[in-house]
């Protein structure tokens, strides 16, 4: 797979087996994004993904990746969880919305419904059609 031909590459991030977050390599916007439902910035994530991009580009394209114009983006406005156990649902929702290029329109109040919907999507093997909502 040539990730450099994709619009966005979504990366689930697990922090110490205790918290799930989401990163995205956004080729259209030329930025590495980080979305955390607990609002914590993690500079290490950007470094790891930049290292990955460099190595992947060197391996696949046989030349260095050009980071000119690229930025590290932290989403200060990402929806925030209000408990200690919904981070996985938030991270899955971040990735689902990012995959559609849609603004985040969910919050803590939606987690029960979204958790149930995700169970149904997994059982059906198909994402819920956002257009029919």
Return the active site residues. 19, 36, 87
Residue 26 CA to its chain's centroid (Å): 10
Tell me the C-alpha distance between 65 and 67, whole Å: 6
Which residues, 6+ apart, have CB-to-CB distance to 74 below 8 Å? 33, 34, 36, 41
Tell me the C-alpha distance between 80 and 62, whole Å: 41
Give the residue carrying structure tokens 């110490």: 16
């Amino acid at each position: 797979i040539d990730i450099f031909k994709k619009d966005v590459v979504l990366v689930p991030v697990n922090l110490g087996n205790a918290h799930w977050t989401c990163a995205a390599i956004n080729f259209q916007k030329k930025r590495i994004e980080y979305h955390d439902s607990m609002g914590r910035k993690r500079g290490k994530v950007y470094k790891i993904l930049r290292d990955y991009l460099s190595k992947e580009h060197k391996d696949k394209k046989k030349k260095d990746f050009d980071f000119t114009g690229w930025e590290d983006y932290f989403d200060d406005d990402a929806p925030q969880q209000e408990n200690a156990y919904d981070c996985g649902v938030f991270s899955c929702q971040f990735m689902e919305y990012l995959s559609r290029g849609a603004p985040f329109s969910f919050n803590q109040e939606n987690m029960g419904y979204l958790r149930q919907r995700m169970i149904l999507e997994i059982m059906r093997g198909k994402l819920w059609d956002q257009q029919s909502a």
